[in-house]
Amino acid sequence: MKAHLFILLCCTAIAGLTGCGSQNHRHYIQYQQQPENESIEHVGLVVVNSGEPRFLGGLESSGPYQGAGGMLYGPGAAGFAAMLAAHAITQSAVDEAKAAEAQAQANLILDKYQSVLARYTDSYIAAVSLASLNTIIPDGKFHSITEHPENFGFIIEMSPVFYMAQDEKSLVLKNAITIYKDLPEDKIVYQNMIQAIAVTESSTPSDYWLAQDGQELSRVVSGAIIRSIEAAMKDAGGHFKNTTKAQTIAYKLSDVTHYERGTVLIDDCDKRVVRTLRGWIYILPQNIMCGPDEEAAAAKI
């Protein structure tokens, strides 16, 4: 009997332990696309207020506090189980506190840009996006809405967040976009994370961004949002085909080379559009010499 109990305890402990050290179950935007490709018309645009700031300082590392570290435990299965629970709770609380502190520290980089960034309220983002989208894609398809009214063909919900690198040489937009079909009932036709990157080679990046009352920063922020919406609409419409073989794509961000596995969807003079293994879309800056034909083709995107 004792032997059976011991084996049972061992099995329970092993099952519990093998789960220990796994990552926190953080949620992220899952790529989702309806198989039928529809032309998206009569679009209502909503900037979702998640309560989180729209602009953040970039952290040097994407996962600063990974791993559970080593563990010591005393004798006895009960003590062992209690240790596991305590370890999980305290580790999680410590990690969150450290992450919040690191983020607050990283956000200090934005202080000098506040005069420009303060303009980017949700209603301003919606207005800027609509003005540009209705210019690029005419016929007045886009309308600003603050809640879901009826009789819109589609509704695009987005929640853009920008990250400024600590050396201020790059600005990364992560825009969570969901497209609903309004009728006959709210139905998600597309959902994805679109990431757009803007970089400057200037040795004094803050002078570059803030020149002429922050005109360059405004141009880049607005441009990234527009490009992300365009990319989402193209993807939802089935215009992005995964025709190339997966490859490891290198791109520079603040003098550091990053790598991402994915398929190249667009390879233009000024940008490269990539679908990552998660299905997300990355719009990466590119600066290659192109002839007039390629430039004209790139201008259409």
Partner 1 sequence: MLFRVSLLLVLAALTSACATAPTQPIALQTEFWDTPNQKVGVVISEIPAPDVFLPGAGCLLCVAVAEGNHATLSKNVDTFDTSELQSLPEEIKHKLESKGLEVVVLSEKFSGKALKKIKSSDPQSPKFDYSSFANDSDITHLLVVEIQGLGIHRNYSSYVPVGDPQGWFSALSYMVDLRTNTYAWYKPVQIFKASDIVWDEPPAFPGLTNAYYQALAEGKSTLTNDF
Find the binder of partner 1 among 7, 68, 85, 188 (CB under 8 A). 68
Q: Does 52 bind partner 1 (CB under 8 A)?
A: no
209 versus 280: smaller Cβ distance to partner 1: 280
> Does 277 interact with partner 1 (rule: CB under 8 A)?
yes
Residue 26 CB burial class (10 angstroms; 0-12, 13-18, ≥19): exposed
Q: Are 106 and 57 in contact (CB under 8 A)?
A: yes
Residue of 26, 78, 111, 241 interacting with partner 1 (CB under 8 A): 26
Bridge partners of 179, per DSSP, are 156, 190
Closest approach of partner 1 to the CB of residue 63, in Å: 5
**Least CB distance from residue 173 to partner 1, whole Å?**
17
Among 1, 2, 4, 23, which residue interacts with partner 1 (rule: CB under 8 A)? 23
Burial of 70 (0-12, 13-18, 19+ CB in 10 A): exposed
28 binds partner 1 (CB under 8 A): yes
Contact between 17 and partner 1 per CB under 8 A: yes
Binding residues for partner 1, rule CB under 8 A, total: 28
Q: How far is CA 141 from CA 26, 115, 244, 293, in A?
A: 36, 32, 32, 29
| Single residue of 259, 291, 293, 300 touching partner 1 by CB under 8 A | 259
List residues near partner 1 by CB under 8 A.
Answer: 13-14, 17-18, 20-23, 25-26, 28, 62-63, 66-71, 248, 250, 257, 259-261, 276-278
